[in-house]
Chain A
Amino acid sequence: MNKPPTVMQVLKGRCCDHAESMSYEIDGRLSWPARLLLRIHRYSCIGCRAYYRSLLAIRAAARAIGGRGAEVGAGVKTGMPEDAKARIAAKLREPR
């Protein structure tokens, strides 16, 4: 599947298809009928329910990593520090 699934694809899908659909779902790229069908499927499917909660847990953990960006150095979220830019610009201006 290389694009978000349609309602029919979700309706006819199996867990292996739903795994990918759920990834699109947490990125907000599923239509609301498709989301509704997935939610209904999760009520009855313990595997997909656990899978979905794990994806949400991974997202929360990833955001926690992003939130402690200051620990690993300046510019993790804001971009390259100005002094680093100046040094690189000077290097690029050197004759080769």
Chain B
Amino acid sequence: MRTEPSEFEADDLGSGVTHSAGDPVRLDPERWLENHGDILWKMAIGRLRNAEEAEEVVQETFLSALAAAASFEGRSSERTWLVSILLRRVADRQRKRYTRAAMQTVAMEQEFDDTGHFVRPARELDSSPADRTELAKLLDACMEKLPELLWAAFHLREVLGMPVPAVCQELGIEANNLGVRLHRARQQLRLCVERGADGGEP
């Protein structure tokens, strides 16, 4: 049986949003669609690339959240909780679609030597308009392999071009937390795109 993220897990997604112990967040299911529908949709369709599936996932998210509402204690924001449910649903669908090769993350130690300098200079990716289309294809493939939390941050900030405060608000996290996620996402994507540009499997 599926279990929805506990609030502890939901806090992992958005630990930046804190609430005083005496002021727990209360769920307001009547307004979920109005308050959170658009952002859940943007994330679902950005990840799944299919309007029908995106609609199903958003609907499943709300229904799952309703079923698990009794376990919500108000320690994280409503949106953080809903987004975490959505991302799990999206991940489930993607697992069914294809077996994903795990993102091959290259540890920092491999990229930098003992003195903290690059072991080898990063391959400079060309951003000229002629090459941008090719690069966008590679990036698209690499984004599919990002872990959900990093993907969500990168998608909202870089693909949709939302300002940092808006992304923080949508994900229910602090700017510093977002900064770390964006750095990790960019680092993984750069390595993945670099492999692809060199003719390897992105």
Q: Which residues of A contact B (CB under 8 A)?
A: 1-4, 14-17, 19-20, 23-24, 27-29, 45-51, 53-66, 72-77, 79-81, 84-85, 87-89, 91-92, 96
Contacts and interface: CB of A to CB of B under 8 A. Distances in A.
Contacts, number: 174
B127 A61 contact: yes
Nearest to B115: A14
B55 A84 contact: yes
A29 B175 contact: yes
B49 A24 contact: no
B106 interface: no
A1 to B, nearest CB: 8
Contact of A27 (B54, B62, B63, B164): B164
A64 B176 contact: no
B121 A58 contact: no
Interface stretch (B70-78, B80-88, B179-187): B179-187
Contact of A51 (B33, B122, B127): B122
Interface string B134-146: 0110111001000
A73 B51 contact: yes
